[in-house]
Structure 1
Amino acid sequence: MSEDEFDLLDELYFVQSYDYLKGELGWEDGLLLSTLQQLLKMEYIKCLINPDQELHGDIDLTEAGKEYYFLATKKGLLAHNTL
């Protein structure tokens, strides 16, 4: 897990919006979206349409990632806490 992935997971113990993550981390959109995409690919996070509705299937965050919410999965939390 990269340092960026670790830092991003650190923010996802609770459901967070894209705007919240951008504000907290201060990252450019490209870095934030690509890191979210990588964590999603590893099944370390889940993507939500709203705070209560998970999005399933093949998700391309570069297109609409700024509209979603994110949350660490159990797998992601275990990986985050074992480093």
Structure 2
Amino acid sequence: MSDTEFDLLDELYFVQTYDFIKESLKWEDELLLETLNSLYQSGMIKCLSAPDTERFDQVDLFKEGKNLFYLATKKGLMAHNTL
């Protein structure tokens, strides 16, 4: 897990909006979307269309990422807490 992935997972213990994450980490869109995509593809986070509505289809974060909510998965939390 990279340092950026670790830092991003720090923000995802609770459901968060893209804008909240961006403001908290002070990252550019490109870095944030790339890191979200990396964590998503490895099953470390899940995407939600609303705070309580998980997306089960394949999400293209580079197209939809700014309009979604995010949450760490159990796999992501376990990986984050073992480092």
Normalised by the length of structure 2, the TM-score is: 0.98
The whole-number CA distance in structure 2 between the counterparts of 1:64 and 1:44 is: 18
Identity within the alignment, %: 60
Unaligned runs of 5+ in 2: none
The whole-number CA distance in structure 2 between the counterparts of 1:45 and 1:7 is: 13
Deviations 1:56-75 (A, max 9, x none): 12111000100000000000
What SS does structure 2 have at the residue aligned with 1:47? strand
Counterpart position of 1:30: 30
Structure 1 letter corresponding to 2:17: S
Counterpart position of 2:74: 74
Structure 2 letter corresponding to 1:12: L
Deviations 1:14-37 (A, max 9, x none): 000000000000000000001000
Aligned-residue Cα RMSD (Å) equals 0.4
Counterpart position of 2:4: 4
Counterpart position of 1:64: 64
Normalised by the length of structure 1, the TM-score is: 0.98
The whole-number CA distance in structure 2 between the counterparts of 1:77 and 1:28 is: 24
The list of structure 1 runs, each at least 4 consecutive aligned residues, that deviate by more than 4 angstroms after superposition, is none
The whole-number CA distance in structure 1 between the counterparts of 2:62 and 2:78 is: 26
The whole-number CA distance in structure 2 between the counterparts of 1:65 and 1:59 is: 8
